[in-house]
Amino acid sequence: MLDAVRAAIRDVPDFPRPGVVFKDITPILAEPRLFKQVIDALADRWRGERVQKIIGIESRGFVFAAPLAYSLGAGLTIVRKPGKLPWRTIREAYALEYGEAVLELHEDAFQPGERVLVVDDVLATGGTAEAAGRLVERQRAELVGYSFLVNLAFLGGSARLGAAKVHSLLRF
């Protein structure tokens, strides 16, 4: 089944910039059997870890975070790019290849000690996930781990995620 998921991911060269091979996961979403298998497999890794909240990263992370939260019986919260969240926020800046990016989270997203899982579609250099993890820890919630559909392992992103558990269905 993972072979079918892997085969459905479309490589788009030079998107969004020259030199990047973009992993387009939309064909998985469009195929009900594959989408269900992916969510079931992602959720199975975290059953028994008592995840209380999932945090989805804008924007493709939302697509996996919501069904994962539903499947695990967890709550859902979201981190977004600046200026998108309506309530008071905390923010984390992180370095990109050129310049800087910022993620924001509602300041009351988590209770202290709440067990939180960070979800995104693709782990690349790890900067985005690392920033989301810092937002979780700043609210004194407990970071259970990170869940990805795809780990671009040649970029070494998981090394930036410290001692937390990192799970992905597929490595490239």
Angle formed by the axes of helices 60-72 and 32-46, nearest 10°? 60
Q: One of 6, 97, 107, 134 is an active-site residue; which one?
A: 97
CA distances from 53 to 8, 136, 168 (A): 29, 10, 18
Q: One of 31, 60, 92, 100 is an active-site residue; which one?
A: 60
**In whole angstroms, what is the distance from residue 102 CA to residue 117 CA?**
20
Q: Locate tokens 């924007």: which residue?
A: 59
Contact call for residue 92 and ligand AMP (CB under 6 A): no
Contact call for residue 38 and ligand AMP (CB under 6 A): no
**In whole angstroms, what is the distance from residue 77 CA to residue 74 CA?**
10
Contact call for residue 166 and ligand AMP (CB under 6 A): no
Q: Which two tokens stand for residue 111?
A: 């209770």
Q: Is 47 helix (H, G, I), strand (E, B) or coil?
A: coil
Contacting range for ligand AMP; rule: CB under 6 A; set: 26-34, 46-54, 65-73, 125-133: 125-133
Is 60 labeled as catalytic in the residue annotation? yes
Contact call for residue 56 and ligand AMP (CB under 6 A): no
Contact call for residue 23 and ligand AMP (CB under 6 A): yes
Contact call for residue 22 and ligand AMP (CB under 6 A): yes
Q: Which two tokens stand for residue 55?
A: 């945090």
Q: Which of 34, 78, 119, 124 binds ligand AMP (CB under 6 A)?
A: 124
Contact call for residue 62 and ligand AMP (CB under 6 A): no
DSSP sequence for 12-51: EET-SSTT-EEEE-HHHHHSHHHHHHHHHHHHHHHTTS--
Contact call for residue 80 and ligand AMP (CB under 6 A): no
Residues that bind ligand AMP in the complex, under the rule CB under 6 A: 20-23, 57, 60, 120-129, 152, 157
Q: Which residues are catalytic?
A: 60, 97
